[in-house]
Amino acid sequence: MNAHYKENLERYADLIVQVGLNLQKDQELLISAPISAYEFVRQITAKAYEAGALHVMADFHDEELKKIRLEKSSEEGLKVFPHWKQKGYIEMAENNVALLNLIAPNPSLLKHADPGRVALLNKVAAEASKEFSAYIGGGKISWLIAAYPTEEWAQSVFPGFNREDAVEKLWDNIFYTTRTDREQTVELWEQHINNLNERASLLNQAKYNKLHYKGPGTDLTIGFHPQTKWISAQFTNDKGTPFVPNLPTEEVFTIPDKTSVNGVVSSTKPLNYGGTLIKDFSLTFKDGRVVDFSAKEGYETLKNLLAADEGASYLGEVALVPHDSPISNTNIIFNNTLFDENASCHIALGRALSVCVENGKEMSQDDLNAIGFNESMIHVDFMIGSKDLHIDGEKADGSIQPIFRNGDWV
What does the pLDDT read at residue 84? 93
Q: Could you give the 3-state DSSP secondary structure of residue 260?
A: coil
Whole-structure pTM value: 0.89
Q: Is the pLDDT of residue 107 over 90?
A: no
pLDDT digits (tens, 9 = 90+) for 190-202: 999 999 999 999 9
Least confident of 96-105, 273-282, 302-311, 353-362: 353-362
Q: Is the pLDDT of residue 130 over 90?
A: no
What does the pLDDT read at residue 361? 77
Q: What is the C-alpha to C-alpha distance for residues 273 and 335, in angstroms, rounded to an integer?
A: 10
What percent of the chain is predicted at pLDDT more than 90?
84
What does the pLDDT read at residue 363? 85
Q: What is the C-alpha to C-alpha distance for residues 407 and 400, in angstroms, rounded to an integer?
A: 18
Alpha helix (H) residue ranges in 138-281: 151-157, 163-177, 185-206
At 26, the amino acid letter reads: D
Q: Is the pLDDT of residue 293 over 90?
A: yes
Confidence of residue 3 (pLDDT cuts 50, 70, 90): confident
Q: Is the pLDDT of residue 274 over 80?
A: no
Mean pLDDT score across all residues of the chain: 94
Confidence of residue 284 (pLDDT cuts 50, 70, 90): very high
pLDDT digits (tens, 9 = 90+) for 75-104: 999 999 998 998 999 999 999 999 999 999
Q: Is the pLDDT of residue 120 over 90?
A: yes
Q: What is the C-alpha to C-alpha distance for residues 245 and 232, in angstroms, rounded to an integer?
A: 10
What does the pLDDT read at residue 245? 95
Burial class of residue 129 (count of CB atoms within 10 Å of its CB; 0-12, 13-18, 19+): middle
Q: Is the pLDDT of residue 286 over 90?
A: yes
Angle at 69 between CA 101 and CA 306, to 5 degrees: 65
What does the pLDDT read at residue 291? 98
Q: What is the DSSP string of 321-387?
A: --SSSHHHHTT---S-HHHHGGGS-EEEEE---GGGBTTGGGS-HHHHHHTTPPP-S-EEEEE---T
What does the pLDDT read at residue 1? 60
